[in-house]
């Protein structure tokens, strides 16, 4: 099929378009995929600029507001007039029947909100800043999503946790992608005894049940090690079993690609194996690798959150969505402070966004289909 025919099938009315131009145009015509891309960008930007978006540092404590409920933002005063955004403080009240301490809004402790206020210092690319996206004009505490058992702001910790959770996801996805690509492409291209040995290794790795093995390996991590060292070892454990699927899939694609005429022609003219692999084989598997990566990332986010929720993943003082959920492992904690479940919303948002983006990429990678 000529380029003109292919562009005609893809609905092109202008000059011939390259494959990636067709992919880009088809993707941006997919509203579901574009919505996923926007969601992904929101989550990623929240992680990159978490120090700017979060009102406080993750470890900043408001000791006068332990298990304080979320504070609503008001734009109307008591007379119903439109005013600048503000929040009301809380005062403790005791139920005379149950003797339960509750928080009641206190109109006398009003704090106005403003953009670009001075707050806790934060780092970005080695530079230190003290400007936060929003906060109170008088410097008092306010908590959009309440506080935890130590008086730490849940919203700030959730935004800070986005950085650790996404970093874990991208590190595991990238490492598994590289290992799976190298193993799968080399196994499918060279074949023979090398292919047989590699496939037996892949089958051995795939023979283990994922979750029990993860729990067993994580359980042997040294608890007295530095949090960053535990983070690296935890990421290595997640990579251990995630590259095998990609390598198996790529092996099958490479076996079919190496029989194509353009690969046979390259072999006939004396092209080296390195040139054939990097100029012909890998580029023709790139679409599959990209789609696999977009689906792998939300799976890693869910796995990290689950293991950290059980207390066997990321360790304090590092903050992730899973470590925050670790505080509500029992029904009593959940009943006392249901707002501590706020990271669930970020997990759902990120998983739906990356899955939607992956669906859009999967459809766009086949720009010549009529679906």
Q: pLDDT (tens digit, 9 = 90+) per residue, 47-66?
A: 999 999 999 998 888 888 88
First to last CA, the chain: 19
Please give the average per-residue pLDDT across 148-177, as a whole number.
92
Is the separation of the CB atoms in 351 and 43 below 8 Å?
A: no
| Percent of all residues in the chain with a pLDDT value above 70, rounded to a whole number | 92
Full set of structural domains in the chain with CATH: 19-48+159-364 (1.10.3720.10), 64-149 (no CATH)
Q: Is the dihedral of CA 269, 270, 275, 276 positive or negative?
A: positive
| pLDDT tens digit sequence for 16-52 | 778 788 888 889 999 999 999 999 999 999 999 999 9
To the question of pTM greater than 0.85 for the whole model, the response is no
Flag whether pLDDT at 174 surpasses 70.
yes
Is the separation of the CB atoms in 320 and 161 below 8 Å?
A: yes
Look at residue 103 in the predicted model and tell me its pLDDT.
78
| pLDDT tens digit sequence for 308-332 | 888 777 887 888 998 888 888 766 6
Give the list of residues 6+ apart from residue 304 with CB closer than 8 angstroms, or none: 165, 168, 169, 172, 234, 238, 313, 314, 320, 322
Flag whether pLDDT at 99 surpasses 80.
no
Give the other-Cβ count within 10 Å of 336's Cβ: 13
Pairing of strands 74-76, 82-94: antiparallel
Structure tokens at 251: 């092996």
Flag whether pLDDT at 80 surpasses 60.
yes
Flag whether pLDDT at 363 surpasses 70.
yes
């Amino acid at each position: 099929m000529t380029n003109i025919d292919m562009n005609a099938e893809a609905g092109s009315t202008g000059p011939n378009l390259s494959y990636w131009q067709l992919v880009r145009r088809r993707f941006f015509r997919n509203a579901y995929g574009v919505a996923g891309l926007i969601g992904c960008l929101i989550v990623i930007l929240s992680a990159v600029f978490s120090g700017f978006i979060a009102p406080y540092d993750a470890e900043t404590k408001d000791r006068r507001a332990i298990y304080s409920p979320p504070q609503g933002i008001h734009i109307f005063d008591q007379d119903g007039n439109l005013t600048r955004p503000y929040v009301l403080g809380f005062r403790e009240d005791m139920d005379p029947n149950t003797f339960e301490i509750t928080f009641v809004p206190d109109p006398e402790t009003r704090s106005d909100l403003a953009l670009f206020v001075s707050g806790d210092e934060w780092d970005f690319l080695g530079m230190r800043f003290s400007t936060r996206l929003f906060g109170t004009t008088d410097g008092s505490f306010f908590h959009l999503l309440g506080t935890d058992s130590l008086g730490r702001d849940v919203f700030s910790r959730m935004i800070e946790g986005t950085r650790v959770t996404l970093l874990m996801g991208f590190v595991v996805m990238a490492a598994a992608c590289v290992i799976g690509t190298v193993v799968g492409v080399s196994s499918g291209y060279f074949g023979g005894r090398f292919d047989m040995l590699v496939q037996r290794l892949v089958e051995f790795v795939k023979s283990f049940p994922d979750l029990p093995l993860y729990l067993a390996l994580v359980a042997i991590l040294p608890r007295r090690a530095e949090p960053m060292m535990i983070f690296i070892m935890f990421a290595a454990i997640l990579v251990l079993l995630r590259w095998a699927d990609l390598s198996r899939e790529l092996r099958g694609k490479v076996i079919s690609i190496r029989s194509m005429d353009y690969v046979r022609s390259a072999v006939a003219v004396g092209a080296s194996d390195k040139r054939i692999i990097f100029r012909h084989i890998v580029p023709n598997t790139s679409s599959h690798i990209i789609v696999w990566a977009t689906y792998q990332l939300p799976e890693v986010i869910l796995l990290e959150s689950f293991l950290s929720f059980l207390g066997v993943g990321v360790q304090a003082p590092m903050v992730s969505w899973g470590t925050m959920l670790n505080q509500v492992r029992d029904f009593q904690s959940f009943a006392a402070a249901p707002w501590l479940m706020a990271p669930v919303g970020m997990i759902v948002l990120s998983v739906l966004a990356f899955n939607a983006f992956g669906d859009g990429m999967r459809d766009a990678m086949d720009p010549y289909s009529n679906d």
